[in-house]
Structure 1
Amino acid sequence: MDAETVLTTTRSVRRKLDFDREVPQDVLDACLRIAQQAPAAGAMAAQFRWLLVRDADTKAAIAAHSRETAEAAWEKYGHLVEARALASAQHLVRNLDRVPVLAIPCMIGRPPSDAFSQSAYFGSAYPAIWSFQLALRARGLGSSICGYHLQDHEADVARLLGIPDDVMQISLLAVAYTTQRDFRPAARPALEDITYLERWGSPL
């Protein structure tokens, strides 16, 4: 699969994750090694960690925390979400315990308070997360960020997994092979509608 195809067809896969197919550890290792090469701000690269969860009981506990927050959010705001997108999210969250691997990217050290440092902190995590997702896609796997538990239950999941208090869970990714191989580029706004030149609002 060429780079442009990987970049334009890596979707947040929710309904088409294969819950029954095992994900070999060597495949995950290869994707994580690629993720390690993502750009990071200075010493931030040394603070990044991955925690992989395969145990069924542990996944079930994490899924329960995720569902509690998600269901409450959908009850309050679900009417504002496009029906297809809502159904897709609900499918994943209600089956999160069935996903073969939950990958939790973490950063040693809590998030800083100022905008500049936050940019370096999260900007050192998400390139690695995206590289991981791209590497998975190139190998026939899919992923979706599903961080609902972070809203109300980050501490609960930290205790469950033995994560120290000074470590921040950046997100949670559901990882599995996909039930379909081919994905298409998604519909996105026209470039001229989202790109300005020199000043805000000045068109290309």
Structure 2
Amino acid sequence: MTQLGLTTDELLSTTRAVRRRLDLRRPVERELIEECLELATQAPTGRNRQRWDFVIVTDPARRAALAGLYRLGLTSPRQRLAGTGVDRTAHDTARRLRLAESAQHLFDHLHEVPVLVVPCVRVENRQELGTPVGQANTWGSILPAVWQFMLAARSRGLGTAWTTPHLHYEREAAELLGIPYDTAVQAALIPLAHTVGTDFRPGPRVGTEQIAHWDAW
């Protein structure tokens, strides 16, 4: 399949969370998805073995139901987060408004996105998530694969976004998609579509001097 011809640095700096510029009318070719999955399988894992699966949702009824769980997670979350941290780039009011509009657009149109991807990581049981080491091993076994999938998608003119609100209703999503809830932990819900245009730019970020701590904090 045709790729955009991005350099490595361009690919890494312009793989954005795409919400408003997802093409809701153009189908995504299965061959493209399979190419992205092939590259995802080459990612390093946290436990030196592949323990992850990707559920690719294209059926309109299942997409609509999954989008409903996403919206429910935002409007009626089962668990309130203690805090969301400090966004050191959030001083720009116009940027905050753009982000809010982008999030609202995805909220309104998620069911129309042609492909929804649910990455999962296999566990012996969910108690593995009960310690910091267990969590690091578990998420370290899925996050690189998902990011590699998203980079592969970007290089092929596809847009993605990492979302998690549906996880408030993870068990219901598992029942909807036939995921074995006790031994497969869902990590995210990734909308996948061709993008409207491909001219994405690097996002606003703080300088490395604000995040790098040499030898000690």
TM-score normalised by the chain length of structure 1: 0.90
- Among 54, 62, 77, which residue is 1:50 paired with? 54
The residue type paired with residue 154 of structure 2 is R
- Among 19, 25, 37, which residue is 1:20 paired with? 25
Q: Counterpart of 1:183?
A: 200
Structure 2 residues not aligned, in runs of 5+: 1-5, 91-95
Deviations 1:100-122, CA, capped at 9 Å, x for gaps? 10010001123421111211110
- Among 121, 134, 141, which residue is 1:107 paired with? 121
- Match of 1:195, SS state, is coil
- Match of 2:161, SS state, is strand
Q: Contact 2:121 / 2:141 at 8 angstroms: preserved in 1?
A: no
The residue type paired with residue 119 of structure 2 is P
CA-CA distance at 1:58 after TM superposition: 0.6
Over 3 Å counting, the alpha-carbon distance change for 1:63 and 1:88 in structure 2 is: same
- Among 4, 28, 31, which residue is 2:36 paired with? 31
Q: Contact 2:119 / 2:146 at 8 angstroms: preserved in 1?
A: yes
- Among 10, 19, 24, which residue is 2:15 paired with? 10
Q: Counterpart of 1:59?
A: 63
Structure 1 residues not aligned, in runs of 5+: none
Deviations 1:62-100, CA, capped at 9 Å, x for gaps? 111111221346xx99xx983221221111122111001
Q: Counterpart of 1:159?
A: 175
CA distance in 2, matches of 1:161, 1:44: 24
CA distance in 2, matches of 1:167, 1:121: 11
Q: Counterpart of 1:174?
A: 191
Over 3 Å counting, the alpha-carbon distance change for 1:126 and 1:182 in structure 2 is: same
- Match of 1:15, SS state, is coil
* Structure number having the greater helix percentage: 1
CA-CA distance at 1:145 after TM superposition: 1.3
| Divergent runs of 4+, >3 A | none
- Among 141, 146, 149, which residue is 1:124 paired with? 141
- Match of 2:116, SS state, is strand
- Identity of aligned pairs, percent? 37
Q: Counterpart of 1:88?
A: 102
Q: Counterpart of 2:3?
A: none
Over 3 Å counting, the alpha-carbon distance change for 1:198 and 1:43 in structure 2 is: closer
Indicate the larger mover: 14-23 or 157-166: 157-166
CA-CA distance at 1:53 after TM superposition: 0.3
The residue type paired with residue 160 of structure 1 is L
CA-CA distance at 1:158 after TM superposition: 0.7
Q: Contact 1:136 / 1:143 at 8 angstroms: preserved in 2?
A: yes
CA RMSD of the aligned region, Å? Answer: 1.9
Q: Counterpart of 1:194?
A: 211
- Match of 2:54, SS state, is strand
TM-score normalised by the chain length of structure 2: 0.84
Task: Give the number of aligned pairs.
Answer: 194
The residue type paired with residue 105 of structure 1 is P
The residue type paired with residue 207 of structure 2 is A
Over 3 Å counting, the alpha-carbon distance change for 1:114 and 1:44 in structure 2 is: farther
